[in-house]
Structure 1
Amino acid sequence: MLTKEDLLSQSVLPNISDISLLIYTEFSEQFLMNRKLHYFFTDKTDMVVEFREWGIYHMLSIQHINSRIKNHAFFEAVHNGLELSSFEENKAIKQRYKKQKQRITAFSCLYYSLIHGDAFFIPSGHVKNTAKVEADYLIFHMSNTKGLNYGLRKVGDAYVPITILISKSSDPDEYLEDSIQKIIKKLEILDMNDNILGTIDKCKTNE
């Protein structure tokens, strides 16, 4: 079973049996909700990424599995006993859960991908080759043969991760059509008071 600390460096999709909603929630509360990521691009633009409970709820597809669980009360539901096994107690919910398992495991690679992945701006705000996925940016990371795409939407002055798309092995760039790659010059990891916890010089890393 992965620990919440493992999720800071998880780069490949784990087995569904190696994760839990409680570990995801504790990781989110301890790390994600207390951090911001500030991207500086070579074209002199920048982007600040922040995390929200409702965004994590949507990344995990809870709304597609059991919409009775509300996005503003997701963490509370987990602390009150909601687990992945809860999605197997009802036949209809179990079928919906089965379809979302890979996406749920991809959440474990979120932090690593945001730190080490590539950024793509979507001018139209609509992700190509999807029916209705709206995002302003995708952060893309290859995990073995899988293309992991984390969609960010602008909310106020920040960009919030709100969805996960997993590309087919035969076409890992399928969701990147009509996007513009933004070369990351530097990435700062900040606490919520804007104190710098770490800095990554991406240009030197990529040399």
Structure 2
Amino acid sequence: MTAPEGRHLIASGDWERLRYGWVEAVCCDASVGAQAQVVAYVLAMRYANRHTAQCDPGLPELEGTLGRSRSTLKRAISELIDAGWITRVVGRGRGNRSGYGFLTRARIVSLKGVRSGPKKGSADDPFYGAEKGSDPGCQEKQKGSNLTLKGVKSGPPYNIAKTCKNHRGTDLPQNLSDNPMVIRDSQRAVERFRSGHADAFDGLQVWVINHIIAANLLTPEERERSGLG
């Protein structure tokens, strides 16, 4: 498989070390919509094998996880492909499913003797500040505790770095949720806010607010106007 011009496919040996930064970079890309950002997060953190980067969920699986229609998921996936974040990988041979590969603009150089996975408080992510339109608050890694993903139906929780330094309560960990109900309520609240409802976030559960902030579903200007900045 050939990556698009200007992009590089993240190799299986690098994926475990780089997946956190990849998710953060997508969430900080202002050209990618909220639906596509959520799909990117679920592909990387739930379906992609952390050791091999193999990621081959079918649309029915994604529908069941996210509670989104097939047409919405297709649009989100196409948006990620057009933005240069993922590419389709065609399965060859009997039993090999087609799936997705993860792309980056940075050329990855593997270093011998380097442990895979981010160290606590480290800044080994090649994605920071690399994307056009990315949030300036994401160009520095924050020190402190990592985010904990809650609501995963199976397997241990994943820890991922804080996404942006201008989130409300940056001295506390914010929670990205994999719960379809939380994701749905977050999306609906953001859509209502953008359609002119200033009270769209009033009365939301704290974990929904936390997901909106941690998933970077609002632009910095929107966070400031909504009071979530």
TM-score (norm 1): 0.28
Higher relative contact order (CA 8 A, sep 6+): 1
TM-score normalised by structure 2 residue count:
0.26
